[in-house]
Amino acid sequence: MTETPAKPDVQSAAISDFGIDTTSMSTGEAVKDYFSRIKAGQLGSLPAVLGVAVLLVLFSALSSDFLTLNNISNMLQQGAGQTIIAMGIVFVLLLGEIDLSAGTASGVCASLLALHYVKSGNLLGGMGSSVFFIFIAVLGLAAVLALYQKIWAGAGAALLALLLVAIGVPANPWLEMLLAICTGTAIGCITGFLVSKIGMPSFVVTLALFIVWQGVILQFIGEGGTLPIYTDAVLNKVTNGTLPVFASWILAVIAVGAYAAVVLGQHFSRLRRGLVAQPTAIVLFKVGAVALIGVVITYLLTLNRAQNANVVIEGVPYVVPIVLFLLVVGTYALNRTRYGRHIYAVGGNAEAARRAGINVPKMRTSVFVISSTFAAIGAIVYSSKAGSVNPDAGGLNTLLFAVGAAVIGGTSLFGGKGRVVDAVIGGAVLAIVTNGLYLLKQSAATINIITGLVLLLAATVDALSRRRAAASPR
């Protein structure tokens, strides 16, 4: 080479060849770019967000009861359980797998929690000795399988559940919730092992387990039985309780402040390092919009919404911080950690991931562990809302609504595409549809038909946008 002295210049000139990579876009260009991506079929969760907006307008026009404060908080509480289960299912869908057993697995956790509470901690008496020892053996098996696959968190949770059951802790709502969650994790270790190590298709494994867990629920509760849990203040308040007004505002400030800090911090650090970033105006607009929505919703929920003049119901329901927390943790895990990056990679091209040195079977097991753990948390929330656990807990609808919520939000069933927030948006759509139709005094038949059609519509949008994306010029 004759022009060796000019090497640094050559490099910087080459870098500037990356067009939009160094020259940051203006606000107008960014907006234009966004629309061109939508035209190209990269819709993201836009259809679901639009769906929420349309449904809100539609139902508030049709029913005067719909957009009342009471009903808004009611919808949040109704939808939270299935939304949380859907969040866990997103992880499974990201690998292109399916977890049909999430619903009944959540039911097992719910019935275990209720059984422990109702029998005052005497699980041995509640289950009968043979069932009790089989249950302990299954928890032990889950721990062994988790250790075998080096999933330490799963093994720890399974052993903790084993310990809680074996030493017979007294009835305590916190311990019961811990037991339910750890049992959910243990269930996931077994599902994951069967799928990733034995190599059965997840559809078959989880279909079989779906039926098995349904039987286990029946065994725990007894046919036609109901285990009330609303008599415990803590278990009842998980979903039905609300934060005090002051705490609600603190929550709003923390949530909005943290969002702004993360988004703005990242934005300015990218700008400082000379990397391409979105225009500052758009970032500020996003932060402002989130702050506005947060403040408005918090304000509305801190007004007294009791229909009876003698009581006061105000404050943000506990499920809001619960869902927000899980949303933040899940999103962080998927977007900012190595683990999340590897999940997307395995979902996109398992062979490429394997060649890059990623332990694909372990990733596969881990998503089932996550799914079952989220299912257990969802079980606590929906059982608290219902006030009791019966053999229908976590039945078919629970699962299908959860999968439906994830898909409506924009998560693909083919793997590699999806976010945790999809589950929240999709869960909102389903909660609004169910609640709105109920207020319109529609029969269960109509509600089912319309909910199914909404899911079909979402799947259609996904398929069409995928075709569009495949056909768009490269």
Partner 1 sequence: MSEPILDIKGLNKSFGPVHVLHDVDFAVRAGEVTALVGDNGAGKSTLVKCVAGIHPYDSGVVRFDGADAHIRGPKDAADLGIEVVYQDLALADNLDIVQNMFLGRERGNSWLLDEASMEQAARETLASLSVRTVKSVRTLVSALSGGQRQTVAIAKSVLWNSKVVLLDEPTAALGVAQTRQVLDLVRRLAEQGLGVVLISHNMADVFEVADRINVLYLGRMAAEVQTKDVTHGQVVELITAGRSGDLGLARPEAVAM
50 binds partner 1 (CB under 8 A): no
Q: Taking CB under 8 A as the rule, does residue 18 contact partner 1?
A: yes
Under rule CB under 8 A, residue 344 binds partner 1: yes
Among 336, 396, 449, 464, binds partner 1 (CB under 8 A): 336
What is the C-alpha separation between 469 and 134, in angstroms, rounded? 51
Contact residue for partner 1 among 26, 54, 339, 463 (CB under 8 A): 339
Q: How many CB atoms lie within 10 A of CB 339?
A: 11
Backbone angles phi, psi at 151, to 5 degrees: -100, 90
d(Cα 422, Cα 90) in Å, to the nearest integer?
8
Residue choice 5, 8, 170, 357 for contact with partner 1 (CB under 8 A): 357
Q: Among the residues of 349-417, which ranges form H helices?
A: 350-355, 360-386, 396-409
151: left (phi over 0), alpha (psi -120 to 50) or beta: beta
CB closer to partner 1 out of 25 and 440: 25
Residue 153 near partner 1 by CB under 8 A? no
Residues whose CB falls within 8 Å of the CB of residue 285, separated by 6 or more in sequence, listed in order: none
Nearer to partner 1, 352 or 456 (CB): 352
**Residue keyed to tokens 């919808």:** 75
Q: Is 19 in the site for partner 1 (CB under 8 A)?
A: yes
Near partner 1 by CB under 8 A, which window of 16-24, 168-176, 228-236, 303-311?
Answer: 16-24
Q: Whole-number minimum distance, CB 25 to partner 1, in Å?
A: 11
20 belongs to the binding site for partner 1 (CB under 8 A): yes
Q: Taking contact as CB under 8 A, which single stretch among the options 134-142, 337-345, 380-388, 455-463 is the one that binds partner 1?
A: 337-345
The torsion angles phi and psi of 446, rounded to 5 degrees, stand at: -60, -45
Min dist CB 15 to partner 1, Å, is: 5
Query: What's the distance, CA 471 to chain centroid?
Result: 31
Q: Give the x/- contact pattern for partner 1 in 405-444, rule: CB under 8 A.
A: -----------xx---------------------------
N residues, the chain: 474
Residue 317 forms beta bridges with which residues? 242
**From the CB of 18, what's the least distance to partner 1, in Å?**
6
Question: What are the backbone dihedrals phi and psi of residue 242, each rounded to the nearest 5 degrees, phi first?
Answer: -130, 155
Least distance to partner 1, CB of residue 42, Å: 9
> Considering only 46-54, 281-289, 341-349, 430-438, which stretch makes contact with partner 1 by CB under 8 A?
341-349
- Tokens in use for 10? 């050559």
Query: For the window 289-308, what string marks contact with partner 1 as x by the rule CB under 8 A?
Result: --------------------
Instruction: Determine if 338 is a binding residue for partner 1 (CB under 8 A).
Output: yes
E strand spans, 279-323: none
Please give the size of the binding site for partner 1, defined by CB under 8 A. 35
The span from the CA of 203 to the CA of 153, in Å, is: 25
Q: Which is nearer to partner 1, 355 or 441 (CB)?
A: 355
Give kind and range of the element (H or E) at residue 388. Answer: strand 388-389
Torsion 418-44-103-301 (CA) sign:
positive
Find the shortest distance in angstroms from Cβ 451 to partner 1.
29
Phi/psi of residue 389, nearest 5 degrees? -120, 125
Angle between helices 173-193 and 102-118 (to 10 degrees): 150
Residue 349 as a binder of partner 1 (CB under 8 A): the answer is yes
Q: Partners of 227 in the beta sheet?
A: 389
261 part of the interface to partner 1, by CB under 8 A = no
Q: How many CB atoms lie within 10 A of CB 257?
A: 12
Which segment (12-20, 184-192, 243-251, 361-369) binds partner 1 by CB under 8 A? 12-20
Contact footprint for partner 1 (CB under 8 A) = 11, 14-15, 17-21, 269-270, 273, 275-276, 336-339, 341-342, 344-345, 347-349, 351-353, 355-358, 416-417, 469, 474
